[in-house]
Amino acid sequence: MKLIEILKIALRALARNKLRSALTMLGIIIGVGAVIAMVGIGNGAQKEVQDRIAAMGTNLLYVSAGSVNKGGTRTGAGATQTLVASDVTAIVREAPAVANAAPSSSASTQLVYGNQNWATTVTGTEPQYFDIRAWDMARGASFTDDDVRTAANVAVIGDTVRQNLFGNANPVGQTIRAGNLPFTVVGVLTAKGTSGMGGDQDDGIYVPITTLQKKITGQDWLRNIMVSAKSQQESYAAQDQITQILRDRHRIRQGDPDDFTIRNLADVAELADQSAQVMTMLLASIAGVSLIVGGIGIMNIMLVSVTERTREIGVRVAIGATEQDVQRQFLLESVVLSLLGGAIGILVGIGSSVLITYVLHWSVSVSVLAVGASVIFSTAIGIAFGYYPARKAARLDPIEALRFE
C-alpha cells in the first residue's frame, strides 16, 4: 500500500475516538509546552544576569587593597593601605592591554536635602570612572579634572538617590549635605538597576577622589582601582600585567603573596553563564519527564487499540495487506498523535512564555533550538513508543484475528 493511503486509514482510525486521541495527546502537549517554557525561563534568566553584569561596565577588573590570604590571616578589600594614586598612573602607562583606570575609595554617609535625608555610600573617583563603567549622565555632566585638582565640593548622584531626595525635581545645581559638607549636584547618572551580585548600582553619590580623601576620610590611600581592558579577550592579559606592575612597585619578593586582589569581571560572567546553563538544563530535564510519561500513554492506548481492532487487522491481512502495511498503519497512528501533540504543545509553550512575561514580569526567551528539539523528540517518542504495539499488530495470526470477538 502507498504511504498516503496508510496515512488516511490511520487518521480515520484516530478520528473514530476523538476524545481518547485528545487525551492521549495531552501528555505530549504538556511535555512539549513545559520544555519550551522552562528552557525559555532559563534562557531569559541567563540573559538577564549577563545584561546586569555587562551593565557594570566593559571588560572590567577590580584591583583591591589587601590579599585574600596573607600570612595565615584572611584580609580583603580595604584591609591594607597598599594602593596609592601613583599605582593608577603606572597601570595606565605600563600595561599595554589596559585601556583606562580610575581610583576609587568609599565611605558611608547621610545625605540631606531640605527635609529629606538618605543613607548611602559616597565614592571618590575621577571623571574616567564613568567612561570605564559605560555610565552615561541622564542630566547634567560629570565633575572635571580641575574639580579633582582643587578638591571641589561637587557631586554626581545615582538615580535611587535622586528619587529619594528630589522626587521628580531636577537636582542639577542644587546643594545637598553629605555629613557636614555641602555639595553641589552637577550630574545625575542614568539608572542601571541591580548588579550581577544583587546590589543597587544607582544608590550612591560620586565625588572627586581628592575631596573624599582630604575632607571626608582623611586617607591618602585607595581602596580600589577600577580598570578597563581593551577587550574582553585581553582582560586576562591585563590582569597578568597589572599583577606584575603592582608586585614590582610594592617590592614584593618572588614567592611572597600579593598585597592586593584582582577580580576579573569576565570570570564572574563566565561563572554566571555556566550556572544559568546548568539551571536551564535541569529545568528542561524535569519538564522532559512529562514527555516520557506522554509516550507511555501513547503506547498504552495503542496496545488497547490493537486489542480492540484485532478482527479488523485479520480482515485486512486476509484481503492482501502485508505485515509491513499493518505495522506502518499503527506506527503512523502513533507518530501522528505525537506530532499533533507536539504542534499544539509548541503553541502552549510559546503562549505560556508570553503569559509568564506579562503576569510575572520575568524575562523569558523562547529558544528556536528548544522548539526544534521538542518536535524531534516528540516524533522520536511516537516512533519509539508506537513500535511495539505496531509490531504486535503486524504479527497477529490472521486466522486467530478473524475468530476474535
Query: Is residue 156 within 8 Å of residue 133, measured between CB atoms?
Result: no
pLDDT of residue 70: 47
Instruction: Taking residues 243-251, report their average pLDDT.
Output: 94
- pLDDT reading at 171 higher than 60: yes
- pLDDT reading at 149 higher than 90: yes
DSSP string across 200-221: BTTS-EEEEHHHHIIIII---S
Pairing of strands 69-70, 98-113: unpaired
pLDDT of residue 72: 47
- The tens digit of pLDDT for each residue in 181-239 reads 999 999 999 998 877 566 789 999 999 999 999 999 998 899 999 999 998 889 999 99
**Grid cell locating 295:** 509516550
Higher per-residue confidence, 72 vs 145:
145
Does pTM top 0.75 for this prediction?
Answer: no
Mean pLDDT of the residues in the chain? 86
Taking the C-alpha atoms of residue 346 and residue 370, their distance in angstroms, rounded to an integer, is 10
Taking the C-alpha atoms of residue 377 and residue 150, their distance in angstroms, rounded to an integer, is 68
pLDDT of residue 8: 79
pLDDT of residue 390: 87
Question: SS3 for 122?
Answer: strand
Instruction: Taking residues 109-135, report their average pLDDT.
Output: 94
Taking the C-alpha atoms of residue 325 and residue 322, their distance in angstroms, rounded to an integer, is 5
Taking the C-alpha atoms of residue 35 and residue 24, their distance in angstroms, rounded to an integer, is 18
Higher per-residue confidence, 317 vs 172:
172
- The tens digit of pLDDT for each residue in 65-108 reads 886 554 544 445 445 678 999 999 999 999 999 999 999 999 99
